[in-house]
Structure 1
């Protein structure tokens, strides 16, 4: 701490050390309190942040498992991945389907007229800005073309503004010059691109590709789609068309692909293991912040959240849902599928033998346990809602309170520093005055003694 130096020249006393000792003694109780409270608040805030991150990851995994229908116990495959790929969703059922693709959905592609000066050709040679309007169905994408803008600059403007809306522009150049080609990612009939406006780019356009629908048959039923990803042709199955069905080299009818949906215990166990791993990650995160450590001297150090009521409540809510019965099948609990809880750590594991036997006869029951509005995934998510809300959740409120406490402790520290600076200045002034007084008294004493010595020792006559 900065302060006035006191040398003690007059008194031969180290008054600076005395002042520092008095200041340190005055500071110590409050400083210790601030340090302890700051350390506790900082450690708790860090631990709560880790729990929040683990809880967010846990809830995100629950949502992902619901979306991907991980526990359906089904897997989909295509006999010809060059024609179609398959993704299983909610509501899928086992079965085989014949798929014949005769046409893929395509997008619109148009070209401007050729500009003989290449990509640097000036598009707007007038004295005022112009506008290029790109139309697609009911949508219009306007591009401002400033005075002196080149073909390259117009192309860059289109890509920077509308690339995320499915439009792209490129420039093709040959011996005759350059032309701008516009392509859309929107497929299907009715998605044609046209140009309008007053730039001159709208005149002389050429159609390079006309958009068309995908055409295919499922089990002989003729169907069409505006895009190549078909989510509603068969319940619970998303089919992505990747090519036209091949025809024999010698001619004849095209060969259909077979879409198969079948039971898959390997996929089911993988999904169950994914849940177990996700659950264990949350348990491990909580344990890390509540663990009591034994030190080398035998003393114990508690974790930042040891005994924390909020964390205990969270863990209790999650375990309650884990142990609850669910589903409409014969088997309604995870323990019946070999999911075991370690009584010491709380971590889950899968007994392979028990799982294999249960999945062989009642594999579909797992989906009932996990899925649906009253399934384990939804219940786990609901049970953690009050803890995980970003602004009003239990841990968010705790974090805000601890942040406020740290801010208040910072103010207390600043006030203490200011008070100690003032105290040191005051004490330094007092000891400086004392030292000056002692110096004067010593000077007077020396003068008096000199006079007395002179009187007691008269010179010989």
Structure 2
């Protein structure tokens, strides 16, 4: 901005205030228009952001309902949790009742050596110790660096072969204990040696740790056992107390000898809860859309997105989904959302959910209910279609992103216009200063000439008076 500190000094007519008033009057209309346009553009960007967030929130519960697993909720109960617990994979489980009679629990084998005087001084022999667990054999070298109970235990643990080893102080000596890390007969431990003393089976040197079915120089303190139980009268054997694969989608956790009845039942509350989440998020989206595109009767004004084609497109697509009949359900007692207790309030566009109706229909027609929501046999259900619709709108190249990108370009254009306005106003201000300065100088000169003439006339006045006398 040009300096105008001396403006008006000559004439007293032109001043800094006058220049500022003219400059502001020139700037104000354009600046006001740009401010209004920027404010509206930023409000639209914010509105699209809120709609995007609401669509993302809606997509989450719909993704759950778009899979068969999301529509299949089961609970498992055991009449005697002390004997057996139960867990369910809802994606593949089915209703059923199972009588369990647990006859034997699975156990992990433990072997104990003879008694030694100490844990880390007395040598135990040298050679190669071979551990065979589950059909996998591992050789462990025992030499002068590890030929004590403690040294052997450390080498076995470092080998990571499914056997843990420790040295136990019995009070009257020390024993090496090897324990299988997994239960069951198949995970029993076999120990063989190549003893450097030349005898691989006697009770001296490294061979005192042999336990291979032929020589048993270690004591089996805990026998390897499989879990044995009857399920509906059929005997089942497993290496673990976690019994899987007997009933599809059902896992028994056996804990003690005894009987229990396990029931697997549909859990309509869980599925209804997922649908309720969808309804809540759908209605929240309607609130957001109403806020930014609806008409406020009190103020007589519409929202910043009133009449927006993108918003209308979102509403149109989602409402179309609400009355869609998936292929294959044309003649089913369940064809659309209204048949399962989900209806639209025409005055608000929001959904109303009758959970009692939903749970009744889920229990009566579980397969049709799944087909209504989830993708099944290559046919998209309503939830899957809504996921796709929401994903299309909020994609990086979707309608919302395109509108937001366009608005951001508008903001850039507004800033360009502001920059040009600043340049124009600066030029205008400089022109005013030049014109006012020139005018000020001219007026000052005129005033100066006038003062001179007045002085000359005043000087002539006495002479005229004398001549007249």
CA distance in 2, matches of 1:218, 1:300: 75
Q: Match of 1:283?
A: 286
Instruction: Tell me by how many angstroms 1:379 deviates.
Output: 1.3
Instruction: Tell me by how many angstroms 1:55 deviates.
Output: 1.0
- Aligned residue for 2:258, secondary structure, equals coil
Task: Answer yes or no: is the 8 Å Cα contact 1:3–1:421 preserved in 2.
Answer: no
- Aligned residue for 1:407, secondary structure, equals helix
- Aligned residue for 1:69, secondary structure, equals helix
Task: Answer yes or no: is the 8 Å Cα contact 2:73–2:90 preserved in 1.
Answer: no
Q: Match of 1:26?
A: 26
- Which of 423, 432, 439 matches 2:437? 432
- Which of 439, 448, 464 matches 1:443? 448
1:146-204: CA deviation from partner (whole Å, max 9, x where unpaired)? xxxxxxxxxxxxxxxxxxxxxxxxxxxxxxxxxx9xx99xxxx97789xxxxxxxxxxx
CA distance in 1, matches of 2:260, 2:416: 73
- Which of 221, 226, 242 matches 2:236? 221
CA distance in 2, matches of 1:384, 1:315: 11
1:76-99: CA deviation from partner (whole Å, max 9, x where unpaired)? 334566764524422331113467
- Aligned residue for 1:319, secondary structure, equals helix
Call closer, same or farther: CA 1:265–1:365 in 2, change over 3 Å: same
- Aligned residue for 1:76, secondary structure, equals strand
Task: Answer yes or no: is the 8 Å Cα contact 1:5–1:428 preserved in 2.
Answer: no
Q: Match of 1:245?
A: 255
Q: Match of 2:212?
A: none
1:262-305: CA deviation from partner (whole Å, max 9, x where unpaired)? 1334334333323322322222222222122234xxx5221121
Q: Match of 1:375?
A: 381
Name which one, 1 or 2, has greater alpha-carbon Rg: 2
Instruction: Tell me by how many angstroms 1:454 deviates.
Output: 1.2
- Aligned residue for 2:333, secondary structure, equals coil
Task: Answer yes or no: is the 8 Å Cα contact 2:85–2:252 preserved in 1.
Answer: yes
Instruction: Tell me by how many angstroms 1:308 deviates.
Output: 1.0
Provide the alpha-carbon RMSD of the alignment: 3.9
CA distance in 2, matches of 1:229, 1:422: 87
1:6-65: CA deviation from partner (whole Å, max 9, x where unpaired)? 642322224323322332333234323322221121011101111111111111222233
Instruction: Tell me by how many angstroms 1:312 deviates.
Output: 1.0
CA distance in 2, matches of 1:422, 1:384: 51
Q: Match of 1:272?
A: 275
Call closer, same or farther: CA 1:63–1:372 in 2, change over 3 Å: same
Call closer, same or farther: CA 1:356–1:341 in 2, change over 3 Å: same
Task: Trace 1:23-422 onto structure 2 (pairs within 5 A).
Answer: 23-66=23-66, 69-72=69-72, 74-79=74-79, 84=85, 86-97=87-98, 102=105, 211-212=181-182, 219=231, 220-223=235-238, 234-235=247-248, 237=249, 239=251, 245-246=255-256, 254-255=257-258, 258-295=261-298, 299-326=299-326, 328=329, 329-351=332-354, 354-355=357-358, 358-359=361-362, 361-362=364-365, 364-373=367-376, 374-389=380-395, 391-422=396-427
CA distance in 2, matches of 1:421, 1:229: 85
CA distance in 2, matches of 1:104, 1:392: 59
Task: Answer yes or no: is the 8 Å Cα contact 2:67–2:375 preserved in 1.
Answer: no
CA distance in 1, matches of 2:65, 2:423: 57
Call closer, same or farther: CA 1:97–1:432 in 2, change over 3 Å: farther
Q: Match of 1:176?
A: none
CA distance in 1, matches of 2:353, 2:449: 95
Call closer, same or farther: CA 1:392–1:356 in 2, change over 3 Å: closer
Instruction: Tell me by how many angstroms 1:239 deviates.
Output: 4.4
TM score, norm. by length of structure 2: 0.64
- Which of 449, 453, 461 matches 1:456? 461
CA distance in 1, matches of 2:438, 2:243: 91
1:346-394: CA deviation from partner (whole Å, max 9, x where unpaired)? 11112466446545644553223112242111111122332121x2111
Runs of 4+ in 1 over 6 A off after TM superposition: 189-193, 206-209, 227-230
Q: Match of 1:155?
A: none
CA distance in 1, matches of 2:423, 2:230: 82
Task: Answer yes or no: is the 8 Å Cα contact 2:286–2:349 preserved in 1.
Answer: yes
Task: Answer yes or no: is the 8 Å Cα contact 2:54–2:281 preserved in 1.
Answer: no
Q: Match of 1:164?
A: none
CA distance in 2, matches of 1:104, 1:319: 59
Call closer, same or farther: CA 1:430–1:56 in 2, change over 3 Å: same
Call closer, same or farther: CA 1:284–1:460 in 2, change over 3 Å: same
Task: Answer yes or no: is the 8 Å Cα contact 1:341–1:348 preserved in 2.
Answer: yes
Task: Answer yes or no: is the 8 Å Cα contact 1:43–1:304 preserved in 2.
Answer: yes
- Aligned residue for 1:384, secondary structure, equals helix
CA distance in 1, matches of 2:277, 2:230: 34
Call closer, same or farther: CA 1:36–1:57 in 2, change over 3 Å: same
